[in-house]
Structure 1
Amino acid sequence: MADELYADPRLVAVYDAWNGGRWDVEHYVSVARTLGARRVVDVGCGTGTLAMELSEQADHVTALDPAAGMLHAARAKAGAEAVTWVQGTAADLPESAFDLAVMTGHVAQVFVTDEQWAATLGQLARVLVTGGVLAFETRNPAAQAWRRWTPEDSRAETVIAGQRVESWHEVTEVRDGTVSFTTHHLLGAGPAEHVESRSTLAFRDLPMLERTLEVAGFSVESVQGDWDGSPFTEASPEIIVMARRV
């Protein structure tokens, strides 16, 4: 998991600027609407983009994140009082409290070890009612998205509070189903301040996801390969899962 990105207020602002209009938000809002979910938990909520949208249709939305910096930014947004913000992990949630749990923004990949992933799935099964749904996505390892995480292909610029920000990725290691990379940020102009954040993500294929979900007490109901609703294939960029607690 990235370190400075979730602690430095300047980088939290960069994260919020890049993720304010994510393409996955519409998908998960649609899932909640289709299921008629009234009690929803957003696991790894970041700065709260999805949780705020979900609060407009669900009776109770809990937004969970271990990073105080992310939650501070989320709570400062207009309408944030409609969401219950919790700093912590799934282990801190009450039992059988939710109809739907979502993990967006590739949060499923920050659980790097198999033990971390299994423990998280077990906790999510605990907090969902019987028949409740877990919805999440992860990058398809066969698509090798990290090959595009180069300074040339990933460089982007934005302006936050009048300050220019330039960012790019650089992969440092690919090993045993994980990818480690550094995100570089240049803040301001002439001379710009260089800030780095380091991350490691796990890439799990569909058979492994299905096995671990089954062990945790879930039954996979659907798998999509992209945000347009297309079915999953080996060439799909995403693995977008809906699984039901049985």
Structure 2
Amino acid sequence: MLEQARRRPELDIGWILGDLESVSREREFDFVVMTGHAFQALLGDDELRAALGAARAALTDGGQFGFETRDPLTRASESWATETPVEVAAGAAASMRMTRQVRSVDGEIVVFASTFDIPVGSAPRHSDSTLRFPGADRPDVFLAGAGPAVAEGYGDGAGGPPGEGGPEIIAVARRTPA
């Protein structure tokens, strides 16, 4: 992702790969983003609070923090319990086939396995994952405890309203002055 972003020299943005919890960044950034549903990989409340607190500390006053999580109301993981592969065209050169199988569900925690054929017909690759599907109100609750206040919310990448059947909860929170 960073390699792609750095190919856009017309953007006046400094891209940094890093973990805010492992390095102290105090009021350095105007915008911090957590992508790829990484919010869902924070499985425990303490881990989530620490990550959100680190994001807040890194923001300048008025700085923004953006992230997305799957909307739990769409119950996306229920469709993962199928053996039917999903095929994704990856341009003229290749395509990909993926299957997911849910191993267990314990409250908000979903453990699943994915199998990828990239390109289709090649030796499959396997990945085991665990994600948290917090309730629709939980991101706001955790953000309120960490300090940034939600300024904008969307239900999909096109800017649709949250909670109306969109697959995502996309939040942009703003650090208010101390």
What does 1:226-245 align with in structure 2 at a 5 Å threshold? 226-245=156-175
Change beyond 3 A, Cα 1:107–1:180: same
Q: Which amino acid aligns with 1:57?
A: L
Structure 2 gap ranges (5+):
none
Q: Which residue of 2 aligns with 1:78?
A: none
- 1:62 matches 2:19: no
Residues 48-89 of structure 1 show CA distances to partners (whole Å, capped at 9, x for unaligned) of: 26643676413422123xxxxxxxxxxxxxxxxxxxxxxxx2
**TM value normalised by structure 1:** 0.62
Q: 1: distance between equivalents of 2:159 and 2:90? A: 32
**TM value normalised by structure 2:** 0.83
Q: Which residue of 2 aligns with 1:103?
A: 34
- 8 A contact 1:54–1:61 mirrored in 2: no
Residues 65-116 of structure 1 show CA distances to partners (whole Å, capped at 9, x for unaligned) of: xxxxxxxxxxxxxxxxxxxxxxxx2113422111001112211111111111
Change beyond 3 A, Cα 1:179–1:49: farther
Change beyond 3 A, Cα 1:63–1:50: farther
Residue among 217, 224, 227 paired with 2:147: 217
The aligned length equals: 173
RMSD: 2.6
SS in 2 for 1:122: helix
The structure richer in helix per residue is 1
Residue among 129, 134, 137 paired with 1:199: 129
Change beyond 3 A, Cα 1:163–1:228: closer
- 1:184 matches 2:115: yes
Q: Which amino acid aligns with 2:83?
A: P
What does 1:1-246 align with in structure 2 at a 5 Å threshold? 47-48=1-2, 51-52=5-6, 56-64=10-18, 89-93=19-23, 94-149=25-80, 150-152=82-84, 154-156=85-87, 166-186=97-117, 193-246=123-176
